[in-house]
Amino acid sequence: MTTLDWIARATKARRAETGDQLTRILCVLFFFSGFPALIYQLTWQRALFRIFGVNIESVTIVVTAFMLGLGIGSLAGGYLSRWRGLPLLPLLASIELLTGVFGVASLKLFDSVGNWTTGLPLPAMAVLSLGLVIVPTLLMGATLPVLVGHLARRANHVGKVLGLLYYVNTLGAGAACLVCAVILFPFLGMQGSVYVAATINALVAAGALAMNWRDGARGIESYASLPARAPAQPRLKLAFVLILAAAGGFVSLSYEIFFVHVVSYATGSTATAFAVTLAAFLVGLASGSRQAGDDCAALAPELAMRRMVAALLYAGIAGLLFLPILDHLAWLGAAVNGAAFVLIYFVARFWGSLLPYLGEFGIAADERAGMQTALLYLANIVGAATGSVITGFVLMDLLGTVALGTALVVAGFVLAGSLAGLLPLSRLDKMRRAGIAATAALLALFAGPRWSDNVLAALQWKGAPNAQPLTHVVENRNGIVTVTADGTVMGNGMYDGRFNTDLKHDRNGIVRPYALSLFHPAPRQVLMIGLSSGSWAQVIANNPEVTALTVVEINPGYLQLIAAEPDVASLLTNPKVTIVTDDGRRWLRANADRRFDAIVSNTTWHFRANVTNLVSVEFLDLVKQHLNPGGIFFYNTTDSARIQRTGCLAFGDGARFLNHMVVSQAPIRWDFGRWRRTLAAYQIDGKPQFDLSRADDRAKLDELQSWEGSLTARGVTRPIERCADILSRTAGQESVTDDNMGSEWRHSLGLD
């Protein structure tokens, strides 16, 4: 070997080492870049829900806007990737710093915009959502194509680089889900979480700049100028690859929506369950992406192609088994959720392999790799956004849980068969794999529903003894509502009331709406947030003092149940009653001129997802703006001491009535004599509720009137507890705010 040969080899080795080192550095930075991205996504979605509401339309629009911002950013990154001398580490640092700066100011910006955009129609909401998140999501989306464009030429494998980068970034996002659920949201709230995310942005930027300063421009230039080996030519046309990427994004995002839908029902719609579901899905995507990237580099192209088709077949099998396994393991109780997360991981793992494989077989590792990766990423995002809209708006209304799960499995098998037909494999290979996909699709179509026909009842009762059969089930895009044989209504798997308006046989705390006249002398105009079984609305609408009742309900499925129940069916034709399908907080913001004598909110459990929007200090301040002088707010606390304390601090006067709070800015006039007279005159559908000639009826009225003594008594077991006693009992507890989100994230940690 001559001296010149030795120098050339040494130089090549140093360049290779520089490239490997840069790849490792970028992977570490890109992993931690995924952390704040997910924190921002969860926090910004929550902030935008306060503006637009938490109905499924708003949720879908916000998620879609976030994804489209990433897609637009990917195009920008594709253009940047064509600059051969692009200062890679400084660019990454700039993106992180700009994202962090926006993040710090984001929540205040969203609140400011929300103050003058109430009541927007859906198209305007979509445009505004995209406008609010376009800057940070554009920055986030630009990073992947830029990095792929710089790393692919040296690796000579787009799939390997794409799989590796997608793996580290998505794994960081999945880890951030768990950190948000266990640490950030329970203890720091929204603004604190944003500060943590911005700090991570700054640290990633500092790390990038430090490495750039250490190596100087020479390190980057040396890497960029490495002689490229002749890249392998694409084996699939780019147009086919983009179509397949879009189809994969559609099915994959639809699966995510489906999984959240099922786990929400199985767990009672807790915020932590959503975060863990998302984490399992993201970690699965990351794992599959890494495996596919390794296959692209290590396997012969034909074998890697077979692996790609096999991955989609395995994804379909895992999806097909998802509901049947949950159905047959529901007796495990809460442990069945663990089985759900494992299955979600495997479905996502197999779908996560698709993008790297498509990049490997459809994009050459040349100077166009970054731009074409941007197109691939954009196609995947457009497909995912379309899946979000079509599945979130349409399919979840048309198909039940079992039918939707079956449709996704069949779609996956169809995509696997189509892919097998497009790949440059032997005719025998194509026929074999397409035949397997077709057979599996038929099996899923006919056998899948039979294997999971009892899944809703199984997940609701989880093997509880003496579980009642479900007599009525309503499924739509807003959730799952079920009714048992004894008239118990369950909303998304948790108790939501009973069909009962009989105060003398009070099985559902129906005394609470009957008590409206105890707190207010003339509740003429009443607003009710939440309809559920309709029992409360029926009682309030038939109060002789009430002239108009407006009900705002987020899930129109309850109307189907009410129409079929004789005790409450007349509510739908009562001229006093107006029922609006909307988010309660959004409706109040959009109807700033409406005023009421009483606002009643029989909302859900204090630890369920997004319930803080209806019990926080900010919401109570909004309610004040809609009360007439002397008006009252009567709302469910589900025995949460924090919510009770919050109500007392927010209003001038108030008390706990059973598990509800009644609060007012003026002194509440407790008139038990008036209440007794109102109860004695109460009629529902023309039928008197009390017959004063009956001793039992008079005794019931006497019992209720005896509660007057609890106004001056002591102890938390009494039916009425004034705010002075509540504040003393709850001293040291923090008020519920939009920012700290109450007990939504703390309940699962035992920190209520």
Q: How many CB atoms lie within 10 A of CB 744?
A: 24
Domain of 691, CATH number, reads: 3.40.50.150
Domain match, 581 and 606 both: yes
pLDDT at residue 291 is higher than 70: yes
Domain match, 73 and 200 both: yes
Looking at residue 227, its pLDDT comes to 43
Distance CA 381, CA 245 (A): 9
Domain match, 106 and 169 both: yes
Averaged pLDDT, 552-577: 92
Domain membership flag for residue 1: no
pLDDT at residue 151 is higher than 80: no
pLDDT digits (tens, 9 = 90+) for 698-732: 999 999 999 998 888 776 678 999 999 999 999 99
- Stretch among 117-126, 161-170, 257-266, 457-466 having the lowest mean pLDDT: 117-126
Domain match, 32 and 130 both: yes
Q: Which two tokens stand for residue 331?
A: 């007796």
pLDDT at residue 378 is higher than 80: yes
Strands 596-601, 525-529: pairing is parallel
The amino acid occupying position 474 is: V
Looking at residue 215, its pLDDT comes to 66
- Stretch among 20-29, 228-237, 407-416 having the lowest mean pLDDT: 228-237
Of residues 305 and 58, more confidently modeled: 305
How high does pLDDT run on average in the chain? 86
Distance CA 210, CA 93 (A): 10
The confidence band for 402, taking pLDDT boundaries of 50, 70 and 90, is very high
Domain match, 490 and 521 both: no
Distance CA 662, CA 673 (A): 18
Looking at residue 226, its pLDDT comes to 46
Q: Residue 172's domain spans which residues?
A: 12-229
Q: How is residue 228 annotated by DSSP?
A: P
Looking at residue 85, its pLDDT comes to 66
Averaged pLDDT, 216-235: 53
HSE (CB half, 13 Å, CA atoms) of 69? 23
| C-alpha torsion angle, residues 244, 245, 248, 252 (rounded to 10) | 180
Looking at residue 5, its pLDDT comes to 46
Phi, psi of 615 (to 5 degrees): -140, 0
Averaged pLDDT, 653-682: 94
**Number of structural domains in the chain:** 4
Looking at residue 120, its pLDDT comes to 63
The amino acid occupying position 206 is: A
pLDDT at residue 130 is higher than 80: no
Whether the CB-CB separation of 270 and 381 falls below 8 Å is answered with no
Residues in CB range of 371: below 8 A, 6 or more apart: 78, 79, 81, 82, 145, 149
Domain match, 484 and 412 both: no
Averaged pLDDT, 177-182: 92
Domain membership flag for residue 3: no
DSSP helix/strand/coil, 556: coil
Domain match, 209 and 247 both: no
Domain match, 80 and 116 both: yes
- Stretch among 133-142, 381-390, 619-628 having the lowest mean pLDDT: 133-142
Residues in CB range of 40: below 8 A, 6 or more apart: 99, 103, 106, 136, 194, 197
pLDDT at residue 188 is higher than 70: yes
Among residues 523, 510, 527, the alpha carbon closest in space to that of 568 is found at 510
Domain membership flag for residue 6: no
Domain membership flag for residue 7: no
Looking at residue 71, its pLDDT comes to 82
Domain membership flag for residue 423: yes
pLDDT at residue 16 is higher than 90: no
Distance CA 505, CA 738 (A): 38
Averaged pLDDT, 416-420: 89
- Strands (E) across 622-724 are located at 627-636, 653-657, 660-664, 683-684, 687-688, 720-722
Q: Which two tokens stand for residue 746?
A: 């703390």
HSE (CB half, 13 Å, CA atoms) of 188? 16
pLDDT digits (tens, 9 = 90+) for 35-49: 888 898 888 888 877
The confidence band for 367, taking pLDDT boundaries of 50, 70 and 90, is confident
Q: Which two tokens stand for residue 686?
A: 């023309």
Q: What is the residue-wise DSSP string for 366-428? A: STTHHHHHHHHHHHHHHHHHHHHHIIIIIIHHHS-HHHHHHHHHHHHHHHHHHHHHHSS--HH
pTM higher than 0.75 for the full model?
yes
Go through the chain and tell me how many residues it has. 752
Domain match, 503 and 490 both: no
Q: What is the residue-wise DSSP string for 42-79? A: HHHHHHHHHHH-SSHHHHHHHHHHHHHHHHHHHHHHHH
Among residues 530, 549, 552, the alpha carbon closest in space to that of 539 is found at 549
Distance CA 237, CA 149 (A): 19
| Residue whose token pair is 């708003």 | 58
Q: End of a domain among 202, 229, 256? A: 229
pLDDT at residue 398 is higher than 70: yes
Whether the CB-CB separation of 31 and 228 falls below 8 Å is answered with no
**Highest mean pLDDT (candidates 61-65, 319-323, 604-608):** 319-323
Sign, CA torsion 37/260/252/343: positive
The helix (run of H) or strand (run of E) holding residue 524 is: none
pLDDT at residue 261 is higher than 70: yes
What is the distance between the terminal CA atoms of the chain, rounded to a whole angstrom?
74
Looking at residue 14, its pLDDT comes to 42
| Residue whose token pair is 């998620």 | 63
Phi, psi of 628 (to 5 degrees): -70, 165
- Strand arrangement, sheet containing 494-498: 470-476, 479-484, 488-491, 494-498
Residues in CB range of 270: below 8 A, 6 or more apart: 607, 608, 609, 744, 747, 748
Distance CA 551, CA 539 (A): 13
- Stretch among 238-242, 298-302, 628-632 having the lowest mean pLDDT: 298-302
Domain match, 236 and 339 both: yes
The confidence band for 183, taking pLDDT boundaries of 50, 70 and 90, is very high
Q: How many CB atoms lie within 10 A of CB 573?
A: 8
The helix (run of H) or strand (run of E) holding residue 244 is: helix 238-267
Domain match, 220 and 294 both: no
Averaged pLDDT, 482-492: 89
Looking at residue 252, its pLDDT comes to 92
Domain of 117, CATH number, reads: 1.20.1250.20
Of residues 316 and 334, more confidently modeled: 316
Distance CA 25, CA 223 (A): 13
Domain of 400, CATH number, reads: 1.20.1250
Phi, psi of 630 (to 5 degrees): 80, 5
Domain membership flag for residue 19: yes
Looking at residue 23, its pLDDT comes to 76
Domain membership flag for residue 415: yes
Residues in CB range of 476: below 8 A, 6 or more apart: 396, 397, 555, 556, 557
Domain membership flag for residue 4: no
Whether the CB-CB separation of 558 and 569 falls below 8 Å is answered with no
pLDDT digits (tens, 9 = 90+) for 671-696: 999 999 999 999 999 899 999 989 99
pLDDT at residue 21 is higher than 80: no
Among residues 79, 68, 102, the alpha carbon closest in space to that of 380 is found at 68
pLDDT at residue 121 is higher than 70: no
Whether the CB-CB separation of 259 and 343 falls below 8 Å is answered with no
| Residue whose token pair is 């990095």 | 147
Distance CA 63, CA 17 (A): 41
The confidence band for 13, taking pLDDT boundaries of 50, 70 and 90, is very low
Whether the CB-CB separation of 674 and 705 falls below 8 Å is answered with no
Domain match, 133 and 263 both: no
pLDDT digits (tens, 9 = 90+) for 517-560: 999 999 999 999 999 899 999 999 999 999 999 999 989 999 99
Q: Which two tokens stand for residue 69?
A: 């911002």
Encode burial over 604-633: b for 16+ CB neighbours within 10 A, e otherwise. bbbbbbbbbbbbbbbbbebbbebbeebbbb
Averaged pLDDT, 53-68: 73
The confidence band for 225, taking pLDDT boundaries of 50, 70 and 90, is very low
pLDDT digits (tens, 9 = 90+) for 463-476: 777 788 889 999 98
